[in-house]
Structure 1
Amino acid sequence: MKERIERLKKLTYIPQKEIAWLIEQAELSVKQQEILEENKRQQDVTVHQFRQAQKDIQQLSGDRKRYKQALEKIITNLNFAISVAQNELEGDAK
């Protein structure tokens, strides 16, 4: 391709065949640029989705921790209430 470009630079008259080749190369270059831009856009979307997923995971982990702590407190309170009720029942039975 470089050789062809150098040969074209030296010509004062450019044959139709060479013009067609230049047009084809320009069209290919435009298509490649469009593909690169689309790939970049898709990469940006993927990065954004990944970062959002990371934030969601962190938030869910924090929620899970808080729910677990709340559930442990409820279980502790229920166990205490059961112990009190058992003691009262035992006290009433004596």
Structure 2
Amino acid sequence: MKERIERLKKLTYIPQKEIAWLIEQAELSVKQQEIIEENKRQQEITVHQFRQTQEEIQHLSGESRRYKKALEKIITNLTFAIQVAQNELEGDVK
């Protein structure tokens, strides 16, 4: 392609066949640029979605830790309440 372009630069008259080739190359170039721009746009969207997902995971991990701590406190309190109830029942039985 490079050689063909150099040859065309040297011509004073460009044959119709060569003009058609130039037009075809220009059209291909435009299509390639459109594809590149669309790929770039899709990449930006993907990066944005990835970052949002990371933030959501961090948020959910924090919530999960808070729920786990709260559940552990509830279990501790219930265990204590059961123990107290058992002690009272044993005291009533004796």
Give the TM-score range, shorter chain: over 0.9
**Equivalent AA in structure 2 for residue 22 of structure 1:** L
SS in 1 for 2:70: helix
The equivalent residue for 2:74 is: 74
Distance 1:55 1:81 in 2: 39
Distance 1:3 1:11 in 2: 13
* TM-score (norm. length: structure 1): 0.96
Identity %: 85
Distance 1:2 1:71 in 2: 71
Gap regions ≥5 residues in structure 1: none
Instruction: State which drifts further: 24-33 or 55-64.
Output: 55-64
* TM-score (norm. length: structure 2): 0.96
Equivalent residue pairs, number:
94
The structure 1 segments of at least 4 consecutive aligned residues displaced by more than 2 Å after TM superposition are: none
Q: Structure 1, residues 33-63: CA drift from partner, whole Å, max 9, x if none?
A: 0000011111111111111111111111111
Distance 2:87 2:7 in 1: 103
